[in-house]
Amino acid sequence: MRAVIAEDSVLLRIGVVKVLEMAGFEVAAQVEDGEALLAAVAEHRPDIAVVDVRMPPDFTDEGVRAATVIRRRWPDTAVLLLSQYVEERYATDLLAANTSKIGYLLKQRVADVEEFADSVRRVAAGGTALDPQVVSQLLLRRHSGPLDRLTRREHEVLELMASGRSNAGIAAGLVISDSAVAKHINNIFAKLDLPKADADHRRVLAVLRFLDVV
């Protein structure tokens, strides 16, 4: 698996490269802005591009704009966005067309090396990785309604499910058994009246659709 990385902070870039290599990726290119990222993706056609949202020259949303172009022009390349803070609109814009091969994580998650490596692999393999903070901000937007009927535990499971985790991932995150996770997920789908979905990213889609995101 090959990756390119676009990140203007040298220290963080070195860290991300190390984690990617540890996760078994070959880092084909390291660039510092959106233009160079598009050129690198065109040249290397990587499996995944890890992209900082804020980059030169304007330090606003260069990364998001580059990601939109990548998803349109090179749909085989997955995109994992890294950001200093969560702006749900970036997530919703990117997820609108397609919830597979996309990730949106806070920069500080890179420090949880193994989990970050899992997220990168998952996104590169066609999955989704949304930061828990993204999901909780999306849930915040959804006023009243069926969400209030969920128990606290079901809320937690919903957040992790929406962030793209598999059942095993959710079980590990909450330190409960796989069967308990399956039970909670069934309850959530029943309470929110969602259609059954087995593949992880289709499940994300279902939840996000419920949250009015897509």
Partner 1 sequence: MSWGFTVVPMPFALHPPESLRRPFREAGRSTAFVAAGLPPHLVAVALWVWLVGLAVVVPGFAPLPAALLIVSAGVLTAVQRWRYRTLRGPGALQVPPRTGRPALRHPIQWLRSPGAWRQIAYHGLVGPLLAPVEAAVLVLWAAGFAAASIYVWIWALPPEQRLTQVGYTTQAAYITAGGLALTAVMPWLTGRVARLEAGVANVLLGQTRAERLQRRVEDLTESRAGVVDAADAERRRIERDLHDGAQQRLVALAVNLGIARATLTDLSAEARRVIDDAHTEAKQAVAELNDLVRGLHPAVLDDRGLDAALSGVAARAPIPVRLSVDLATRPPATAEAVAYFTVSEALTNVVKHARASKAEVTVERRGGTLVVVIADDGVGGAGPSGGTGLAGLAKRAASVDGTFTCHSPLGGPTVITVELPCAP
CA distance 2 to 22: 13
Pick from 16, 22, 162: nearest CA to 103 = 162
Interaction residues for partner 1, span 35-94 (CB under 8 A): 54, 60, 84-89
Report, in Å, the least distance between residue 31 CB and partner 1.
17
Interaction residues for partner 1, span 173-212 (CB under 8 A): none
Q: Please identify, using beta-carbon distances, which residue of 142 and 183 lies nearer to partner 1.
A: 142
How far from 161 is each of 13, 44, 172, 195, CA to CA, in Å? Answer: 28, 32, 12, 15
3, 16, 102, 124: residue in contact with partner 1 (rule CB under 8 A): 16
Report, in Å, the least distance between residue 73 CB and partner 1.
26
Q: Please identify, using beta-carbon distances, which residue of 6 and 41 lies nearer to partner 1.
A: 6
Report, in Å, the least distance between residue 56 CB and partner 1.
13
Q: Give the Cα-Cα-Cα angle 180, 171, 87 (nearest 5 degrees).
A: 120
Q: What are phi and psi of 97, to 5 degrees?
A: -80, -40
Please enumerate in sequence order all residues whose Cβ is within 8 A of that of 32, keeping only pairs 6 or more positions apart, or say none. 6, 7, 8, 55, 56
Report, in Å, the least distance between residue 198 CB and partner 1.
29
Interaction residues for partner 1, span 141-180 (CB under 8 A): 141, 143
Written as one letter, the residue type at 182 is A
Report, in Å, the least distance between residue 8 CB and partner 1.
10
26, 43, 76, 114: residue in contact with partner 1 (rule CB under 8 A): 114
Q: How far apart are the first and last CA of the chain?
A: 29
How far from 72 is each of 102, 177, 186, CA to CA, in Å? Answer: 13, 39, 34
28, 36, 69, 139: residue in contact with partner 1 (rule CB under 8 A): 139
Report, in Å, the least distance between residue 92 CB and partner 1.
12
Structure tokens at 194: 């969602």
Q: Which residues bind partner 1 (CB under 8 A)?
A: 9, 11-12, 14-16, 18-19, 22, 54, 60, 84-89, 107-108, 110-114, 117, 133, 136-137, 139-141, 143
